[in-house]
Amino acid sequence: ALACSIEYGIIPGTNNDLSEVINTTLLMLSADSLGLYFPAGDYRVSDNIQLYTGSHMIGSSIGTTIFRSEVVGWTPNIGDNLNWSNVINDIIIRNLVLDNIIIHFYGGYKTNIIIEYNAIINTDDIGYQIHISHTPFIVHGNLLMRGPYHPGSGMGLYMNNNTIISGNYVGDILMISKAFNYIDESTQLLADKVKSASENDRLLINSNQGNYITAITSSDGLTDSKIHMNFIVGNKLETLYNNSTELFDIYRDHVIYCNGYKRLEVSQNYLYGWPKDAHGQAKFRNATGLYFAANYLDSVSFHARPYNNHSILSMNETFIFNNYIKGHVWKNNLNPCYNVCGKGIQKEKVTL
């Protein structure tokens, strides 16, 4: 259930810092498991937004609801900032344009959380724009962008289970016309809103929005989950610009990186735009149960192997089939072209 934010004095377009009144209102409404609907407009915040059970944050489905932080050198988040064991259930974050604001949930007692149809742009923080952990999440239909002065990572997962990452667009929307088979109408509408807001000077968006270190990373423990139908467009730079040093000294990492998972499906994703070296890979390591199928790797290579510095020393039940790999594929001295090794790997119907 939702209450309208305007009824609680949360008025867009005033340029006032609304962090305190939003946090106070969400805490008060949490007694009845109520969330907030934010009509179209611009909402300025300078602090984290704490959510509770039932604290939905829903923007306009027709207009454009923009949350903006103008804090220099720091990026507030929407999510949970209390502690690992804080219980939060039944949340939807939808239809928000987050200008230098990220989404962050960490801990083992967060359930039934859906993050969908949000745009996350101009992120000063070099870390993840969406960071989730330990429990099931649905992350669907979001638009993630990073310009040349906002480099960093996309989505980060840790110890999640039964999680779905699907239909998200990561990178420069200049290529969004090619993504019609991957994203739905709501994500296309979201991209149109962002373009319109930029043209009307509500958002400052530079060209080249593919400045990602990594697009999707699961550092450990992802179980019974799916990465499906995402459209990822980076760029070919070997290093990204560092605002602190004013040098191109931020090194790239893998397009997708998954370690220590069990029963993971990675299917029907489009991956493009990473350097033509070891960083430009979809990389999977030291795990059990990978189904890597029907992906389009455009100048991106595939790498699956167990390393000897992990408690899991195999790649059992790894199936790689019906993928299309176009353009440069990184080669090393051990395993030319495909770089697949380890016990338990099967591959078939791969087009190079």
pTM: 0.94
CB 129, CB 154: distance < 8 Å: yes
- The region, left, alpha or beta by phi > 0 then psi within -120 to 50, assigned to residue 177 is alpha
SS3 assignment for the chain: CEEEHHHHCCCCCCCCECHHHHHHHHHHHHHHCCEEEECCEEEECCCCEECCCCCCEEECCCCCEEEECCCCCCCCEEECCCCCCCCEEEEEEECCEEECCEEECCCCCEEEEEEECCEEECCCCCCCCEEEECCCEEEECCEECECCCCCECCEEEECCECCEEECCEEECHHHHHHHCCCCCHHHHHHHHHHHHHHHCCCCCCCCCCECECCCEEECCCCEEEEEECCEEECCCCCEEEECCCCEEEEECCCCEEEECCEEEEEECCEEECCCCCCCCEEEEECEEEEEEECCEEECCEEEEECCCCCCCCCEEEEEEEEEEEECCCCCCCCCCCCCECCCCEEEEEEEC
pLDDT at 206: 86
pLDDT at 328: 58
Instruction: Give the Cα separation of 225 and 263 in Å (integer).
Output: 7
CB 39, CB 5: distance < 8 Å: yes
Amino acid identity of residue 169, one-letter, is Y
Structure token pair of residue 66: 């923009």
pLDDT at 312: 81
Average pLDDT across each block of 10 residues of the chain; the chain has 352 residues. List them in order.
Answer: 96 96 97 96 98 97 97 94 91 98 96 98 97 97 97 98 98 92 97 96 93 97 97 95 96 96 98 87 93 95 87 87 80 40 50 46
